[in-house]
Structure 1
Amino acid sequence: MDDILPHFLRIGGDTVTAQLPATLPITRGCPYAPPDEHRRLRDEAPIQRVTLPSGETAWTITRHEDIRAMLTDPRFSSDRRNPHFPLLAKGQRINTGFRASLIGMDPPEHGPARRKVVGEFTVRRMEALRPRIQEIVDQHIDAILAGPKPADLVKALSLPVPSLVICEQLGVPYTDHEFFQLHSSRLLSRLTPPAERKAAIDALRDYLGELIERKAQEPADDLLSRQLEQQDDREELVSLAFLLLVAGHETTANMISLGTMAFLERPEDIRKIQEDSSKTLPAVEELLRYFTIAEFAVSRVAVEDVELGGVLIKAGEGVVPLSNLANRDPEAFDHPEELDIERGARHHLAFGFGAHQCLGQNLARMELQIVFDTLFRRIPGLRPAVPLDSLPFKDDASVYGIHEFPVTW
Structure 2
Amino acid sequence: MLPYLCVEVLQEIGSQLANCDQKNLRAVCKELNLAIDPLFYTLFVLQGSRIRAENGLHILERLAAGQIGWSHHCKTVHIRPGSRALKGEDDGPKWYPSNSELPNLLVTAISSMQNVQTVVWNVQASDPRWVTEAICDSLNTLPLLSELQLKMNGICHLQLTPLPRLTKLRIENSNWHRALPWMEEVCQVIGRGHNLTSLHLAGYDDWSKVWTMLRAIMLRPSASTRIYLKELTTSIVTPDLLAYLSSYSGVERLSLERGGQPKNDALADTFFNDVLTQHAQSLVELNCPACHEGRWSFRVDIADAVLQLRKLKKLHLSVNSADTADVEPEMNAVTLLLNTAALLPALRALRISPAPGRFAHGHNGIKTAIEDFTSHLESAAIVCTGESYYGLSPAVSDEGDRSTVLVYRLLDPTSPAVKRIDFSDGAEDWGDND
Query: Per chain length, whose mean CA-contact separation is higher, i.e. which structure has more relative contact order (CA < 8 Å, sep 6+)?
Result: 1
Give the TM-score, by structure 2 length: 0.21
Q: Which has the higher strand share?
A: 2
Q: Which has the larger radius of gyration?
A: 2
